[in-house]
């Protein structure tokens, strides 16, 4: 009897060893293919290189799982337990491998669209936003399915799952009400990707703040502000609230500066001085410049300067340059034109006069 048991265990060990050698051979072939076929199939090799660890794990687990099929059943429970563990490991490694493939495909598509739209930054940013959101959506779906598959390998969870399916209508209603806000943000994120209302890299103005769209996820959008702060807003905000997109059709924007000066200000001299400063500055793209009287009051005149720039960073510097030029010019004139308050002495009227 002992000889029979020893013979059975020996055959099982030999079978698992053969499967292990097959796994090592597969890993060796994979590494050799990645090393030698990079020029013939660059994209495929890129995917294999980025998913190598996950693929090696998946191959090893799959072959060991296949090897378990050749083990003769006996009264011991170790084979059944190991088979269950391998099933879970296979689902986890398959989920990991699929997510790594999605990440690799994202990088390939981003590189391809960046080259295809090298001269059109708007189309490149549109493609980048849609590709990133699509990858995140698919990854979330894969992880959800993988988690459900792992849970269903347990008999107790499988029984609960059957009960859940039997009352799916009521549960779906309760879950929908509980996750209404989250689901609205998810659908809003998908809508942002499809409608192209904002893209990664756009200059937007929201909540009285201006910044650059740095991240767009399925549930929230991150705005990079000029002072290194991060403004995080739900995706539903951008489909339900008004906001300003300065770069909807291009990066070129026009900055506006309002300044209050005295009625005696030499308008033509200021207009010429600012124009001279803009000509000497590399921040001005030379598309447009104007200075007009935007308003008047009892004490001051409001001047409105507008100058075009290639992007938001240049616009900020250009606005500062216009202010500095006007202040320096008025100060050099010895005071005329600077804002001031005027008063008039009114003689007192005699009492009872």
Q: Spell out the CATH class of 154-249.
A: mainly beta
Look at residue 130 and tell me whether its pLDDT is greater than 70: yes
164 has a pLDDT exceeding 50? no
pLDDT at 56: 79
Cite the residue boundaries of each domain of the chain with CATH code 3.30.300.330: 253-332
Strand order in the sheet with 253-262: 253-262, 300-309, 284-296
24-31 LR contacts (CB < 8 Å, sep 24+): 26/59, 26/63, 27/56, 27/59, 27/60, 30/55, 30/56, 30/59
Tokens, residue 227: 């002072």
- Which residues make up the CATH 2.30.30.60 domain(s) of the chain? 154-249
Pick the CATH number of 253-332 from 3.30.300.330, 3.40.50.720, 2.60.40.10, 3.30.1200.10: 3.30.300.330
- Encode pLDDT of 298-345 as tens digits: 778 889 998 888 777 778 888 889 999 888 888 887 666 666 666 666
- Find the mean pLDDT for residues 271-277: 90
Query: Is the whole model's pTM more than 0.95, yes or no?
Result: no
* Percentage of the chain modeled with pLDDT above 70: 67
């Amino acid at each position: 009897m002992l000889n029979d048991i020893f013979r059975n265990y020996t055959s099982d060990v030999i079978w698992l060893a053969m499967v292990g050698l097959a796994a090592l051979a597969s890993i060796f072939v994979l590494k050799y293919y990645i090393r030698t076929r990079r020029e013939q199939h660059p994209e495929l090799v890129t995917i294999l290189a980025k998913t190598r660890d996950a693929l090696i794990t998946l191959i090893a687990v799959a072959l060991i799982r296949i090897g378990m099929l050749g083990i003769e059943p006996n009264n011991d429970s170790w084979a059944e337990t190991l088979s269950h563990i391998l099933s879970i490991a296979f689902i986890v490694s398959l989920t990991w491998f699929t997510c790594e493939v999605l990440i690799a495909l994202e990088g390939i598509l981003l590189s391809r669209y960046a080259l295809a739209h090298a001269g059109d930054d708007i189309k490149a940013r549109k493609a980048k936003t849609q590709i990133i959101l699509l990858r995140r959506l698919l990854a979330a779906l894969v992880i959800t399915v993988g988690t459900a598959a792992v849970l269903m390998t347990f008999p107790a969870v499988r029984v609960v799952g059957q009960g859940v399916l039997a009352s799916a209508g009521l549960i779906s209603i309760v879950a929908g009400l509980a996750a209404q806000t989250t689901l609205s943000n998810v659908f809003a994120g998908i809508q942002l990707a499809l409608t192209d209302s904002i893209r990664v890299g756009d200059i937007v103005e929201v909540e009285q703040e201006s910044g650059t769209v740095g991240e767009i996820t399925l549930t929230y959008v991150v705005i990079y502000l000029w002072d290194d702060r991060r403004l995080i807003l739900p995706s539903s905000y951008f489909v339900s609230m008004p906001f300003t997109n300065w770069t909807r059709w291009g990066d070129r924007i026009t900055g506006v500066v309002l300044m209050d000066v005295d009625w005696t200000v030499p308008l033509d001299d200021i207009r010429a001085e600012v124009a001279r400063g803009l000509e000497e500055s590399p921040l001005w793209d030379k598309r447009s410049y104007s200075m007009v009287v935007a308003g008047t009051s009892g004490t001051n005149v409001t001047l409105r300067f507008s100058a075009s720039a290639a992007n938001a960073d240049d616009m900020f510097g250009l606005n500062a340059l216009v202010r500095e030029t006007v202040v320096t010019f008025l100060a050099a004139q010895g005071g005329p034109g600077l804002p001031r308050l005027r008063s008039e002495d009114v003689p007192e009227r005699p009492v009872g006069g």
